[in-house]
Structures are given as structure tokens and as C-alpha cells.
């Protein structure tokens, strides 16, 4: 599986580079263009989930001890799991759904559409499962009833938010500002000051010095992350392409690589200071982490639910608000339990997405004349 993953990453990165070289001046615009900040907020909160908030403090010690990561410090490794290069996956799919899909309609082909929506739904449920699985690590002594009850509440809030795209946008912007506030709060609480922050952030430089190492899986755990990014890539591209304000293709790549990476770098740098200084995480700090984590889960879920319900025609206008909320809520909670009580894994979803990439590449090649001269393909 890791060989397939490596080949898929190389092809994805080469394709992204080719697009920028050949069509770098081409202007990309979504059908619901938003301001750059709104687009960035939607991208950031939809493309990330609770793991960004909750994982780093538990992963830094692992990266210190595992020989697979000894070439760089734990902060550089953590940044490599979440930042910069992996966002090229989102660039490729955002460009595709903005410029190519409207002309070829490959995702309207019934078989492609079916696989695509299965991927979206499965990955959406995995986000809910991660929240369920990691809650005991961050809410010490949480009872099973409260744990499952909180998951139900989060899922239902996400389904409600997905009923109108304006809720998705408002929640994305609000949670982005809340995340910035969390970074500032954690920074002030640590007493690290500007000098301490700069010293901590400087460790990220080892990522860029070793960026070539992150193209292939460093370990099974890194492979898990990469499969996870692949599973998200097609659906995030579909969703955020709608909100893209007019910008050239080369600027889109820079925006996707840099804009999300800056707050990620700041956040991880503050958390790394807590780790290296062995600072105690108080109950107040932990409550803040969990609160923002909950909101990020809602943000991730509502965008994915909005995507698959739109694709499948499961809309509020068609079924009514009550049926929409109850039906989608029950479906999501059922699938979350599927991850909890079966051996189903996100790596399988990532593998399916890689297969879907290959399928789309084949269809693009077979219909390249329609793409070149602008004619709509026939025989869908």
C-alpha cells in the first residue's frame, strides 16, 4: 500500500507543478466567490478537524522516540504532517473542480458520482469517530454517556449548520477568529514572550531542509496521515472551489500552500514550547482546547454534509428541515459507530480515492480533445 501511496503523491505533485507551469496565468473563479479571508477561513476550517487541536501534544513525544523521525525535531515532523506540501493535494482538486469539471462533467458520470459520494460520507463519519475516540484523552474521567451524548450533539449541530450555506460560512469565519484567539491565549498563558515564540518557531526550518523526505511515507503512522489527506482532497476541492474569488492559478497554489500553513506553524510552535518546557495544561487551558476542538469538528462535518447532500439532491427544499436533520443525523451517527465497532479504517477510503484519481486521469486522457476545444463530451 505504501508503494501505491508514494506513486500517487509523486503523480499529484508533478501534476500540480505542470498545471502551474502551463496554466499559471489562467484565472480561477468559483460560482459563489467570496473574499480572500472568507475563502481562506472556509478552506482552513473545512480542510482541518479536531486532530489539529488535540494531536500535537500527544505526538511530540512519539516523534522524539521513533527512529523514523530522527532526521528532524518533533515540531518539524508535526508541521510536515499538517502543513505546506500536503496542501498541494487541495490545490490540484480545487483547480480541477473550478476549471476542468465544469467543462467535462466527469463527476456526473453515475459510477464516478457514486464512488465520490461514498468517499465523502465515509470521511465525514471518520471525523466524528476521531472526536469520539480521542475525547477520553482530553476530558479526563468523562463518562460513556456524556462522551456519546457530546458526539450526538456535535453531529446534530453540524447537520443543522449544513442546512444553509450561509451558516457554514459564518461558522467558518467565526471559528477561524476563535482559533487565532486560542493561539494568543495559549501564548500569553505560557509566558514564552516574543523571543520564546521565535526560538520555538525556528525549529520548523528543519522541515523545509528535509521536505523531500515527506514525499514518501516515513512510517506507517505517516502513511495514515497521507491516506487521510488523500481521502479529504477530492471533497475539499469540490467544496471550496465554489467560494474561490478570482485569482490566477499560480496565486491559488501559493495561497493554498502558505495561508493555512501560517496559523498551523504558529499553533504548533506555541504547543511545542509547552512540550519542551513541560508546562502544565490546566483545566482552563484544557477546556479551551476541547471547546475549539468541538467547533472544528462541527465545521468539518457541516461542509462535508453540505457537499454530499447537494450532490445527492438530499436538500431541505426537497425533504423539509425536520426530515433533513433527522435523516442525516441518524445516518452520520450510524456510520460513526461503524468505525467504532468494526475494523473499517480511513486508509481504505484513502486507497479508494487514489483509485478515483487514476480513474479521472484515464477519463481526462480519453476526453482530452473535448477539454482542448471546449466541446462537451458525449456518451456520459
Q: Determine how many CB atoms are found less than 10 A away from the CB of residue 177.
A: 10
Which of 72, 57, 19, 15 minimizes the C-alpha distance to 252? 19
pLDDT tens per residue, range 119-175: 888 888 888 888 888 788 777 788 889 989 999 999 999 999 999 988 888 888 998
Taking the domains of the chain in order of start, what are their residue ranges? 2-18+28-371
Residues in contact with 242: Cβ distance below 8 Å, sequence separation at least 6, in sequence order: 30, 31, 32
- Residue 108 Cα distances to 17, 22, 97, 279, 362, angstroms: 27, 27, 12, 52, 16
Q: Give the residue carrying C-alpha cell 465525514.
A: 124
**Residue 166 cell numbers, joined:** 450561509
350 close to 227: Cβ distance less than 8 angstroms: yes
Separation CA 128–CA 206 (nearest Å): 33
363 close to 113: Cβ distance less than 8 angstroms: no
pLDDT at 221: 92
Collapsing DSSP to helix, strand or coil, 27 comes out as: strand
pLDDT tens per residue, range 212-228: 999 999 999 999 999 98
Q: Give pLDDT < 70 ranges for the chain.
A: 342-344, 368-380
Residues in the chain, how many? 380
Task: Please give the CATH number for the structural domain made up of 2-18+28-371.
Answer: 1.20.1740
Separation CA 137–CA 55 (nearest Å): 10
Q: What is the pTM of this model?
A: 0.88
Amino acid at each position: 500500500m505504501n508503494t501505491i501511496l508514494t506513486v500517487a503523491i509523486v503523480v499529484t505533485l508533478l501534476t500540480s507543478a505542470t498545471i502551474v507551469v502551463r496554466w499559471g496565468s489562467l484565472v480561477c473563479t468559483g460560482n459563489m466567490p467570496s473574499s480572500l479571508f472568507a475563502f481562506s477561513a472556509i478552506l482552513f476550517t473545512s480542510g482541518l478537524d479536531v486532530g489539529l487541536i488535540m494531536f500535537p501534544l500527544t505526538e511530540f513525544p512519539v516523534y522524539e522516540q521513533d527512529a523514523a523521525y530522527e532526521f528532524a525535531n518533533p515540531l518539524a515532523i508535526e508541521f510536515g504532517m499538517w502543513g505546506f506540501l500536503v496542501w498541494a493535494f487541495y490545490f490540484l482538486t480545487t483547480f480541477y473542480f473550478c476549471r476542468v469539471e465544469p467543462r467535462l462533467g466527469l463527476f456526473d458520470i453515475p459510477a464516478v458520482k457514486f464512488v465520490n459520494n461514498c468517499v465523502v460520507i465515509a470521511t465525514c463519519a471518520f471525523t466524528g469517530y476521531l472526536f469520539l475516540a480521542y475525547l477520553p484523552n482530553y476530558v479526563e474521567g468523562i463518562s460513556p454517556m456524556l462522551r456519546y451524548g457530546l458526539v450526538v450533539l456535535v453531529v446534530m449541530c453540524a447537520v443543522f449548520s449544513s442546512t444553509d450555506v450561509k451558516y457554514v460560512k459564518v461558522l467558518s469565519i467565526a471559528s477561524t477568529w476563535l482559533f487565532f484567539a486560542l493561539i494568543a491565549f495559549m501564548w500569553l498563558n505560557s509566558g514564552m514572550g516574543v523571543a520564546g515564540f521565535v526560538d520555538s518557531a525556528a525549529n520548523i526550518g528543519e522541515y523545509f531542509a528535509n521536505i523531500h523526505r515527506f514525499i514518501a511515507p516515513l512510517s506507517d503512522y505517516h502513511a495514515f496521515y497521507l491516506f487521510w489527506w488523500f481521502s479529504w482532497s477530492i471533497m475539499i476541492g469540490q467544496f471550496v472551489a465554489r467560494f474561490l474569488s478570482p485569482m490566477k492559478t499560480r496565486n491559488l497554489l501559493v495561497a493554498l500552500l502558505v495561508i493555512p500553513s501560517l496559523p498551523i506553524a504558529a499553533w504548533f510552535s506555541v504547543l511545542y514550547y509547552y512540550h519542551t518546557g513541560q508546562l502544565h495544561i490546566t483545566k482552563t487551558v484544557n477546556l479551551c482546547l476541547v471547546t475549539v476542538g468541538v467547533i472544528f469538528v462541527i465545521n468539518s462535518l457541516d461542509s462535508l454534509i453540505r457537499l454530499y447532500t447537494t450532490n445527492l439532491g438530499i436538500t431541505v427544499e426537497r425533504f423539509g428541515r425536520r426530515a433533513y436533520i433527522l435523516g442525516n443525523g441518524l445516518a452520520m451517527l450510524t456510520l460513526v459507530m461503524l468505525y467504532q465497532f468494526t475494523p473499517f479504517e480511513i486508509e481504505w477510503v484513502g486507497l479508494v480515492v487514489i483509485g478515483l484519481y487514476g480513474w479521472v486521469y484515464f477519463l481526462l486522457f480519453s476526453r482530452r480533445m473535448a477539454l482542448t476545444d471546449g466541446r462537451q463530451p458525449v456518451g456520459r
